[in-house]
Amino acid sequence: MNNFIGSIPIDLASALERTGGEMDFLEELIEMFIGDFDEKYSALKDAVNQKDAVQVRELAHSLKGSSASLGFTALQKTFFQLETAGRDNNLFDAEKKLDLLLSQFNELKTYLENRNKTEQD
């Protein structure tokens, strides 16, 4: 867990503030986000491959919104870049952003799993 200090993928304090301090509720929403991620990521990937800028903008916008609410700062930033790329119809480096998203998502998942383990110990 200590490996993540300096680049913590979730701003837990802000996220908790947004759920009115309810940790269980926040966890429920995080699980929902993680459970839906694969499906939403593939849709985004399809849109990038098909060079459908409008679809890229809409999907990235929605994912950016959820990430922002849950305090996933790194993901939020990348989704925002993809949303902007879609809006500007400039999908030039969108594929790179997709790779970045995947590594940021995996980092988040590892962080949360380690956090749960530490709590159980």
Residues forming the site for another protein (CB under 8 A): 14, 17-20, 22, 25, 29, 32-33, 58, 61-62, 64-66, 68-70
Smallest separation (angstroms) from another protein to the CB of 2: 28
Closest CB to another protein among residues 66, 78 = 66
Q: How far is the CB of 71 from another protein (least distance, A)?
A: 8
Closest distance of CB 63 from another protein, Å: 9
* DSSP per-residue letters across the chain: -GGGTT--S--HHHHHHHTTT-HHHHHHHHHHHHHHHHHHHHHHHHHHHTT-HHHHHHHHHHHHHHHHHHT-HHHHHHHHHHHHHHHTT--TTHHHHHHHHHHHHHHHHHHHHHHHHHHH-
